[in-house]
Amino acid sequence: MLNVNTPRILPRAQHNISRQQIDEDVLKVLYRLHRNGHLAYLVGGSVRDLLLGRQPKDFDIGTDATPSQVRRLFRNCFLVGRRFRLAHIRFKDNKVIEVATFRRHPRQDELPDDPDDHFLFVQNVFGTPGEDAYRRDFTMNALFYDISDFSVIDYTGGLDDLAQRQIRVIGDPDVRFKEDPVRMLRALEFSARLGFSLDDSTLRSIEVNAPLIAEAAPARIREEIMELFRHKVAARVMRMSKELGLLPHLLAGYRGDETSLQLLQHVDDRTASGVAIDEAFAIAALFLNRFFRDFPVEKDTHITAALHMANDIIFSHCRYFSIAQGIRHQAREMLVGCFRMVRGRGRRGERRFVEHPFTPRALELLRLWALVKPELVAVTEEWSEAIEQRTVPAGEARKKTRPRRRRPRRKRPEGGQPQAKQLKT
C-alpha cells in the first residue's frame, strides 16, 4: 500500500480520461475552485468509471476549500448536512453537483470529552487529499483526477487493483466492515456490476462479519437493495450473499432458493431491456416462490384466503423496512393476481379481474415466472389474450343498464321562488 504523502501520479499521456467525458458544469466548478487557489479534484466512482471506459452517472468533487469558502465562490451554492457538511451547487434542470472538503480521521487527543459528540466531530475534521483517500471504502474509489494538470492521483494502490480487476478494502476489512456493515453489500454490488473479483481478505471478512449487516439502518439497506435491482445485479448479488452467509442477515428469513434466484435473474434481464423496475414489483418477485410454496394452487381455494396469505408473507419485510402501505398493496395484488391466473379461467369475477389495473402487472410477473416454470407458458398465453381482448366467458356478460334519467329542473319565476303546483279541480 502506498504512503499517504507519496502518491503515484499518472500524467495525462498515460491515462484515457478526457475532459470531453466530464459534464460541462462540473468543469466550471473545478476550474473556478482552481482559479481561486484551491485544490480541485474529481473524486470517487466517477474517476474509476472513466478509467474503465464507462460513463459515470454523476460526478463528485473534492477540494481543500471549506464549505463556507465554497459558498462564497458560488451564488448557487447551498450547504447541506449536519453530521457531514457538504456544498451542493445547483444548476438548471435540477442538476446538483456535490463538493466535499477533504477530511481525515482525528487524533485521539482531538476528540471531544463527551463520547456522544465523537461521531459529529469525526465527520468534519478537514485534512489533506491523502488523508481523505484513506477514509474511503475501496481502493478503486480512492482515485483523484486533478484539474490543474489533468493527472490521476493514487494514494492507496487503486490503479493496480483496477488493472487486476480486483476489489480491495482500504485498511483492515474487519475494522472497516465494523465501522459500516453496508460496505459488505457494496463490495458484492461492485463485484457484480463491474465483473471484478474480491480479494481473499475481503471475502474472509464478509464471511466472518456477515451478522453485522442486520445492525445497519433499515433505510440504508432498503435503498441498497433497490440499487441492486436498478443496476440489474440483484440476482447475482443475492446469490453471492447466500454463498457467503450474508443473505439470512440481510433479509431475515429469506431462503434465496434456486427457483427464486432464477426469477430474479429474469427480472434483471427485464430491467436491462429498458423496463423500469419499481419496489412493488421487486418485492413481489422476491416472495413469489415462497407464496406458491406456502399456498399451493387449489381449485376450491377462496380468493380471500390468498389475499391473507400474500399479506402475511410480505408484511414483516415491509414493516421492517418501513415500506408504505400503498407499495405493499401493489405487491400483494401482483402475488394474488398470479395466483388467480395460475388457477385458470372461467371463474366468478373474471370480468372484474381482467379489467383490474393491476392485472397487466401481475401478468408481467407471471411471464417471467413461466420462464422458470415452463408448464405455465400455456396459461400465460391464454390470460395474455384475454387481457388484450378483454374477453368475457359465458355467464359473465356485462349487464346492460338503462341510463339514469334526471328529472328536469323547474323554472323559477321572475320573483325568485318556484311556483307551487296547482291542483286540478
pLDDT tens digit sequence for 4-36: 568 999 999 999 999 999 999 999 999 999 999
Q: Quick one: pLDDT band at residue 115, thresholds 50, 70, 90? A: low
* Contact assessment for residue 70 and residue 87, using Cβ atoms and an 8 Å cutoff: yes
Q: What is the mean pLDDT of residues 79-107?
A: 87
Q: What is the mean pLDDT of residues 39-44?
A: 96
Which of 20-23's residues contact partners 24+ apart within 8 Å by CB, and which partners? 21/50, 21/55, 22/50, 22/59, 23/59, 23/97
Q: Which pTM was predicted? A: 0.84
Q: In this predicted structure, what is the pLDDT of residue 357?
A: 86
Per-residue pLDDT for 64 more than 80? yes
Per-residue pLDDT for 111 more than 60? no
Q: Give residue-wise pLDDT tens across range 133-191.
A: 999 999 999 999 999 999 999 999 999 999 999 999 999 999 999 999 999 999 999 99
Report the DSSP beta bridge partners of residue 63.
40, 101
Q: In this predicted structure, what is the pLDDT of residue 121?
A: 44
Q: What is the mean pLDDT of residues 361-382?
A: 95
Task: Measure the CA–CA gap between 291 and 297, rounded to whole angstroms.
Answer: 10
Q: In this predicted structure, what is the pLDDT of residue 49?
A: 96
Task: Measure the CA–CA gap between 241 and 256, rounded to whole angstroms.
Answer: 9
Q: In this predicted structure, what is the pLDDT of residue 2?
A: 47
C-alpha cell, 218: 433499515
Q: In this predicted structure, what is the pLDDT of residue 336?
A: 93
Q: Quick one: pLDDT band at residue 112, thresholds 50, 70, 90? A: low
The one-letter amino acid code at 340 reads R
Task: Measure the CA–CA gap between 11 and 259, rounded to whole angstroms.
Answer: 50
Q: In this predicted structure, what is the pLDDT of residue 419?
A: 57
Average pLDDT score over the chain: 88
Per-residue pLDDT for 392 more than 60? no
Task: Measure the CA–CA gap between 408 and 416, rounded to whole angstroms.
Answer: 18
Q: Helices in 180-274 by DSSP H: which ranges?
A: 182-194, 200-209, 218-230, 234-243, 247-250, 258-272
Per-residue pLDDT for 394 more than 50? no
Among the CATH numbers 3.40.50.10420, 3.40.50.2300, 3.30.460.10, 3.40.50.300, which is that of 1-164? 3.30.460.10
Q: Quick one: pLDDT band at residue 420, thresholds 50, 70, 90? A: low
Q: In this predicted structure, what is the pLDDT of residue 402?
A: 58
Mean pLDDT lowest among 198-202, 311-315, 412-416: 412-416
Q: In this predicted structure, what is the pLDDT of residue 78?
A: 93
H/E segment holding residue 197? strand 197-198
Beta strands (DSSP E) in 51-159 are 60-63, 77-80, 86-91, 95-101, 143-146, 151-154
The one-letter amino acid code at 316 reads S
CATH 3.30.460.10 in the chain: give the residue spans: 1-164
SS3 content of the chain, % helix, strand, coil (to 5): 50, 10, 35
Catalytic site residues?
A: 58, 60, 137
